[in-house]
Amino acid sequence: MSLKLEHVTYTYNPGTAYETHALKDVSLEIPQGQFVGVIGHTGSGKSTLIQHFNGLMRPTSGTVFYDEEDIWQEGYSLRRLRSHVGLVFQYPEHQLFEADVLSDVCFGPKNQGLSQEEALERARTALMQVGLKEKYYASSPFELSGGQKRRVAIAGVLAMEPDVLILDEPTAGLDPKGRDEILDQIAYLHQERKISVVLVSHSMEDIARYVERIIVMNQGEKLFDGVPKEVFSHYKELEAIGLAAPQITYIMHALKEKGLEADISAITVEEARNSILKALGRGEK
Ligand SMILES: Nc1ncnc2c1ncn2[C@@H]1O[C@H](COP(=O)(O)OP(=O)(O)OP(=O)(O)O)[C@@H](O)[C@H]1O
Ligand SMILES: [Mg+2]
């Protein structure tokens, strides 16, 4: 079940004074089961890009394929597509609308044709996965904190058991512990159920820790697309477009300049630790 974009462009307000070319000739393919990160400066087109993955936005030109089928061909069911490709918006409050949390999370599975009972079971499992306490199930989603809303929004998509999970800045508004809990759970689902995950994030640390491939967007274009080590090796170019490598990369470069045989390609704290211990002659511990 791969997702593929071929020469996709998207223009907001074409032909007006507000015309914005948000995507310019973007081609990419995401094979089933991949964990992909999307990074880019604000306004680079990340949200516009990912809304093409489940047919929420229609390309101005170019083609989107899911499982080799053009999703904009006549007769194609976008509804079915959206039950396979779940998207959690950048602003979760846009996605919550039922009177209580449990009903909100049931909405997706019920829409997929599941019975009330099955939907409830899916909803409970999903809410457990995102770590929302049971005492909130009957609350109005609007009374929740930003972080809790985010968990409910993610649960609403997980409850549909999608093959592809797209998350637009899922950890914004969460404290570090909440952030790790949610991302660890998503990484677990990725491993156990082989779902594809597309993670849009401003956190290079999160990206370095979880993803196996990074797509860098810049002014509507795909600038880099590769494994994290390779992409972060371009850290000077990333800085030029307002991004950075993970902090640990800078530390490793600084250590190397000071004469330690540090591995400058280390992008996680774990890798850095091992490399430093090795350089100090203490081996891996
Ligand atoms: N509804 C809209 N109408 C007009 N222009 C828009 C609209 N949404 C986004 N844009 C413009 O399209 C470009 C890409 O925006 P997009 O939201 O996709 O970027 P982004 O990378 O997700 O940014 P951020 O990191 O701030 O979320 C920007 O220039 C933005 O101003
Ligand atoms: Mg965005």
Please say whether the beta carbons of 130 and 182 come within 8 A: yes
Tell me which of 18, 46, 51 to substitute to probe ligand 1's pocket, judged by most ligand atoms within 8 Å of the beta carbon.
46
Could you tell me the CATH number of the domain that includes residue 178? 3.40.50.300
48, 88, 204, 222, best to mutate for ligand 1 pocket (most atoms within 8 Å of CB) = 48
When pLDDT is cut at 50, 70 and 90, the band that residue 17 belongs to is very high
Given 227, 249, 271, which residue is the final one in a domain?
Answer: 227
Continuous segment of H or E residues that includes residue 267:
none
Tell me, yes or no, whether 217 and 113 share the same domain.
no
Do 204 and 189 lie in a common domain? Answer: yes
Question: What pLDDT digit, counting tens, does each position of 179-190 carry?
Answer: 888 899 899 999
- Do 157 and 54 belong to one domain? no
Domain that holds residue 115: 92-162
Do 39 and 172 lie in a common domain?
A: yes
Burial (0-12, 13-18, 19+ Cβ within 10 Å), 60: middle
**Is residue 9 located within the same domain as residue 71?**
yes
Tell me if 274 CB under 6 Å of ligand 1: no
Q: Is residue 233 part of a domain?
A: no
Give the pair of three-digit tokens for residue 75.
Answer: 């007769």
Considering the entire predicted model, what is its pTM? 0.92
**Is position 52 within any domain?**
yes
Residue type, 52: H
Q: 138 and 180 share a domain? A: no
Specify the DSSP element, H or E, that contains 197: strand 196-200
∠ CA 173-85-185, nearest 5°, is: 45
b/e per residue 122-141 (b: at least 16 CB within 10 A): bbbebbebbbbeeebbebeb
| Residue 19 lies inside a defined structural domain of this protein | yes
Are 77 and 23 a contacting pair, CB within 8 Å? no
- In tens, the pLDDT along 65-94 reads 999 999 999 999 999 999 999 999 888 767
pLDDT average, residue stretch 110-119? 95
> Within this chain, do residues 156 and 110 fall inside the same structural domain, yes or no?
yes
Claim to verify: residue 10 and residue 149 sit in the same structural domain: no
The H or E element spanning position 178 is helix 176-193
